[in-house]
Amino acid sequence: MKKVLLLFLIACLASCKDDGDGTSDIYPNVVTEFAMLRTDDSGTMIELTTDDERTYTLSNPQSGYKENFSYRAVCGYVPEGQTARLYKATGAYLLCDSTGLAYEPDPIKVTSVWQSGRYINMQLAPLTQGGTQYWGYRVDEVSGNTTHISLHHRQNGDPLSYTETVYASLKMDDFETIPAGNNIVLHIKTFKGEQVWTFKKP
């Protein structure tokens, strides 16, 4: 299974002045949501595109990343007209098709699952001891206008110790043979049994 690199930009890119009573006289109205972050041919992160297809040029571009690449992330940013100031971004897995891999998914805790634009987004809570786990999706069944898929999570021998937050997204446009308006049913194996969510392809 292809493992997608997690991007971590843990930064506060603007300073706030404390007025002495524990409050700040600069407190930006930060929007937090999933988005795609694009780099240019120098590896500088220059653009943010939201799931509802609003695109902003970053007013504080970030360097040192893969050239001409798009990262999936949960972004905290402040829109400023056609630009945006990025305050932080926590990397998310953009899930790849792992249907051909011959192993059953391992259970996982699920915090939330929802649709945003052309993506299915997930906040997961795997148990870990710092090892490497793997993520993907598999197509289980196509029945009429409904396609059943499942999260393909592999614990990979990582001990079930402490809980970690992991974000993941599935791009519904990857299902090229599914017509718009058809159902996509997501199955996730949890420690309390299988959970199921139903979405419509835009």
Write out pLDDT tens, residues 113-130.
999 999 999 999 999 999
Structure tokens at 94: 């953009």
Fold exhibited by the domain 8-91: OB fold (Dihydrolipoamide Acetyltransferase, E2P) (2.40.50)
Measured CA distances, 31 to 20, 79, 117, 161, 166 (Å)? 26, 8, 17, 32, 19
Same fold yes or no, 8-91 and 93-200: no
pTM: 0.85
| Spans of all domains in the chain | 8-91, 93-200
The pLDDT value recorded for residue 26 is: 56
Strands of the 93-94 sheet, one edge to the other:
93-94, 166-171, 119-125, 109-116
User: 184 in the Ramachandran plot: left (φ > 0), alpha (ψ -120 to 50) or beta?
Assistant: beta
- Give 186: exposed, middle or buried? Use CB within 10 Å, 0-12, 13-18, 19+: buried
- Class of 93-200 in CATH: mainly beta
Closest CA to 171 of 112, 94, 111: 94
Question: What are the tens digits of pLDDT across the range 31-59?
Answer: 999 999 999 999 999 999 999 999 999 99
pLDDT tens digits, one per residue of 151-184 = 999 999 999 999 999 999 999 999 999 999 999 9
Lowest mean pLDDT among 70-84, 96-110, 123-137: 96-110
Q: Phi/psi at 173 (nearest 5 deg)?
A: -65, -20
Tokens at 96, concatenated: 């790849």
pLDDT above 50: residue 24: no
